[in-house]
Structure 1
Amino acid sequence: MGRGWMMGTAALAAVAALGGCGSGMPIPAVEMRPPPEMGFERTLATLRFHGATIAIPPGTTIGGYGGNLWQCAGRSDPIAWQMSRTEVFSRSFSDIFYDRLNLAGYRTTGDPSNLFADIERGRPRTDYLVGARIDEIRLDICHQRDLLTGDEKFLKTGQGYVRVQWQVFSQALRKVVWQATTEGVATLEDPSPMAVQLLINGAFGTAASNFAAEPRLLELVSRDPTQFAVADRQTGPTPLLVPQRPLRTTPLVDDADAVRAAVATVDTGTGHGSAVFIAPSLLLTNHHVVEGHESVMVRDASGRFRKADVLRRDGRRDVALLQLAETVAEASVLPIRLTPPPAIGEEVFVVGTPGMKGLAGTVTRGIVSGFPRNDRGLTDIQADAAVSLGNSGGALVDGRGNLIGLTYAGFQTDGGAPLGLNLFIGIADALAKLGLVVEEPLPAGAEPWDDYPTAPAN
Structure 2
Amino acid sequence: MKKPLIYLSLASLFFTTSCASIIASKKQKVNISTNDQEAEVYIEDSLVASGDYKEFKLTKQYQSYQFIVKKEGYLPAYYSSFMSKRSPLYIISWLPPFILYFAPAFEGGRKSFRYDLSEKKFEPSTIEKTDKKEDEKYIIVNNVAFNVEKDSLEQFSMPITKYKNAGYTIDENRKETTSIFGSSKNTENIKIENTIFSDIINDELKERGYVDTLNKVLKNKTNTLYLDADLNYLALTKITPIHYYGQGAFYRGEIGIKWTVKDIYKTEIFTFEDKVTTGEIATPFPKKDEEAILFNDAFAISLDNLLKSEDYIANSEVMKKAEELDKIEIAEPTNTIDKNIGQALAATVTIKTDEGHGSGFFINNEGYILTNHHVISRDEDYTVVLNNGEEFDAEIIQSNAFDDVAIIKIDHQNKLSYDIQNFKEGSIGDDIYAIGTPNAVELGQTLSKGIISGQRTNDNGQEYYQTDASVNRGNSGGAFVNSEGEILGIVNAKLVGIGVEGVGFAIKIGKIQEMLNIQFK
What TM-score does the superposition give when structure 1 sets the normalisation length?
0.64
How big is the shift at 1:423?
Answer: 0.8
The reply to whether residue 372 of structure 1 matches residue 456 of structure 2 is yes
CA–CA separation in structure 2 for the residues paired with 1:400 and 1:193:
64
Q: How many residues align?
A: 378
SS at match of 1:32: coil
Amino acid at match of 1:425: I
- Which residue number in structure 2 is paired with residue 199 of structure 1? 294
- Which residue number in structure 1 is paired with residue 433 of structure 2? 349
Partner of residue 346 from structure 2, selected from 261, 276, 284: 261
1:311-350 → structure 2 map (5 Å cutoff): 311-324=397-410, 326-329=411-414, 331-337=415-421, 341-350=425-434
Contact between 1:35 and 1:209, CA under 8 Å: does it hold in 2? yes
- Which residue number in structure 2 is paired with residue 98 of structure 1? 202
SS at match of 2:489: strand
Partner of residue 238 from structure 2, selected from 141, 146, 152: 141
- Which residue number in structure 1 is paired with residue 130 of structure 2? 35
The reply to whether residue 284 of structure 1 matches residue 370 of structure 2 is yes
CA–CA separation in structure 2 for the residues paired with 1:136 and 1:190:
19
CA–CA separation in structure 1 for the residues paired with 2:349 and 2:449:
19
Change (3 A) 1:84 1:129: farther
Amino acid at match of 1:300: L
Change (3 A) 1:263 1:105: same
Amino acid at match of 1:64: S
1:73-152 → structure 2 map (5 Å cutoff): 77-79=175-177, 90-107=194-211, 121=217, 128-131=225-228, 139-143=236-240, 150-151=244-245
- Which residue number in structure 2 is paired with residue 423 of structure 1? 505
CA–CA separation in structure 2 for the residues paired with 1:380 and 1:362:
21
- Which residue number in structure 2 is paired with residue 237 of structure 1? 325
CA–CA separation in structure 2 for the residues paired with 1:295 and 1:226:
28
How big is the shift at 1:137?
Answer: 6.1
CA–CA separation in structure 2 for the residues paired with 1:174 and 1:370:
31
Contact between 2:252 and 2:277, CA under 8 Å: does it hold in 1? no
SS at match of 1:396: strand
Q: Percent of pairs identical after alignment? A: 21
**Segment of structure 1 superposing worse, 304-313 or 180-189:** 180-189
SS at match of 1:238: coil
CA–CA separation in structure 2 for the residues paired with 1:173 and 1:270:
12
CA–CA separation in structure 2 for the residues paired with 1:152 and 1:29:
28
SS at match of 2:202: helix
CA–CA separation in structure 1 for the residues paired with 2:232 and 2:353:
36
Partner of residue 249 from structure 2, selected from 156, 165, 171: 156
If asked which structure has higher relative contact order (CA below 8 Å, sep 6+), I would say: 1
How big is the shift at 1:79?
Answer: 4.7
- Which residue number in structure 1 is paired with residue 120 of structure 2? none
- Which residue number in structure 1 is paired with residue 98 of structure 2? none
Contact between 2:262 and 2:269, CA under 8 Å: does it hold in 1? yes
**CA-to-partner distance for each residue in 1:190-240, whole Å, 9 max, x for gaps?**
686789x8535522332213423557635512243996xx7xxxxx63122
How big is the shift at 1:101?
Answer: 2.6
How big is the shift at 1:276?
Answer: 0.8
Contact between 1:410 and 1:422, CA under 8 Å: does it hold in 2? yes
Amino acid at match of 1:276: F
Contact between 2:419 and 2:487, CA under 8 Å: does it hold in 1? yes
CA–CA separation in structure 2 for the residues paired with 1:240 and 1:84:
59
SS at match of 2:341: helix
Amino acid at match of 1:271: G
Change (3 A) 1:430 1:140: farther
Change (3 A) 1:397 1:33: same
Change (3 A) 1:202 1:375: farther
What TM-score does the superposition give when structure 2 sets the normalisation length?
0.57
SS at match of 1:302: coil
CA–CA separation in structure 1 for the residues paired with 2:256 and 2:124:
12
Change (3 A) 1:54 1:261: closer
CA–CA separation in structure 2 for the residues paired with 1:270 and 1:178:
21
- Which residue number in structure 1 is paired with residue 446 of structure 2? 362
CA–CA separation in structure 2 for the residues paired with 1:239 and 1:199:
54
- Which residue number in structure 2 is paired with residue 446 of structure 1? none
Amino acid at match of 2:517: L
How big is the shift at 1:302?
Answer: 1.6
- Which residue number in structure 1 is paired with residue 384 of structure 2? 298
CA–CA separation in structure 2 for the residues paired with 1:237 and 1:288:
17
Partner of residue 493 from structure 2, selected from 387, 409, 414: 409
Change (3 A) 1:47 1:187: same
Contact between 1:49 and 1:97, CA under 8 Å: does it hold in 2? no
How big is the shift at 1:304?
Answer: 1.0
How big is the shift at 1:306?
Answer: 1.6
Segments of 5+ residues of structure 2 without an aligned counterpart are 1-43, 45-122, 165-172
SS at match of 1:207: helix
CA–CA separation in structure 2 for the residues paired with 1:173 and 1:91:
20
Change (3 A) 1:286 1:191: closer
Amino acid at match of 1:307: D
- Which residue number in structure 2 is paired with residue 16 of structure 1? none
SS at match of 1:332: coil
Amino acid at match of 2:370: L
Partner of residue 306 from structure 2, selected from 211, 215, 218: 211
SS at match of 1:372: strand
RMSD value, Cα? 4.8
**Segment of structure 1 superposing worse, 179-188 or 131-140:** 131-140
Change (3 A) 1:387 1:190: closer
How big is the shift at 1:60?
Answer: 8.2
Contact between 1:158 and 1:189, CA under 8 Å: does it hold in 2? yes
Contact between 1:338 and 1:427, CA under 8 Å: does it hold in 2? no
CA–CA separation in structure 1 for the residues paired with 2:286 and 2:138:
41
How big is the shift at 1:90?
Answer: 4.0
Change (3 A) 1:177 1:414: closer
Change (3 A) 1:79 1:130: farther
CA–CA separation in structure 2 for the residues paired with 1:58 and 1:140:
16
